[in-house]
Amino acid sequence: LLSPVSIPVGALLFVTFLGLLSAGLFVAAVVFGALWFYNYLNGRRPPGSDQVDYARMRIVDTANHVKDYAKEYGGYLQGNKQDAAPGA
């Protein structure tokens, strides 16, 4: 007698519970991330900050390398362009 009503209600309650649980976990993750970032910006060295610093330095080094390479390669292209079209 109650099966046609209790199963859909139970499923709705289960899905609602999972939605609230996932929303709560998402909010907790955002708060934790914001606190980690706040501590990182204030120099308190939270766990994992050494990996972030290492990645940042790798990005800076790679950007400088690419910039230097582009300067060298750009000069090469300018020299070949003048050779290909001497009057230009």
Query: The pTM is what?
Result: 0.59
Q: What is the token pair recorded at 49?
A: 């900050």
Question: Do 1 and 41 have their domain in common?
Answer: yes
Question: Do 55 and 42 have their domain in common?
Answer: no
Question: Do 25 and 59 have their domain in common?
Answer: no
User: Given pLDDT bands bounded at 50, 70 and 90, which one contains residue 60?
Assistant: very high
Structural domain containing residue 59: 48-87
Question: Do 81 and 62 have their domain in common?
Answer: yes
pLDDT digits (tens, 9 = 90+) for 48-57: 999 999 999 9
Q: What is the token pair recorded at 12?
A: 């709705």
Predicted confidence at residue 73, as pLDDT, reads 80
Question: Do 56 and 77 have their domain in common?
Answer: yes
Distances (CA, A) of 42 to 12, 45, 81: 45, 8, 51
Phi, psi of 45 (to 5 degrees): 55, 65
Predicted confidence at residue 78, as pLDDT, reads 59
Which of helix, strand or coil describes residue 34?
helix
Question: Do 55 and 34 have their domain in common?
Answer: no
Question: Do 38 and 60 have their domain in common?
Answer: no
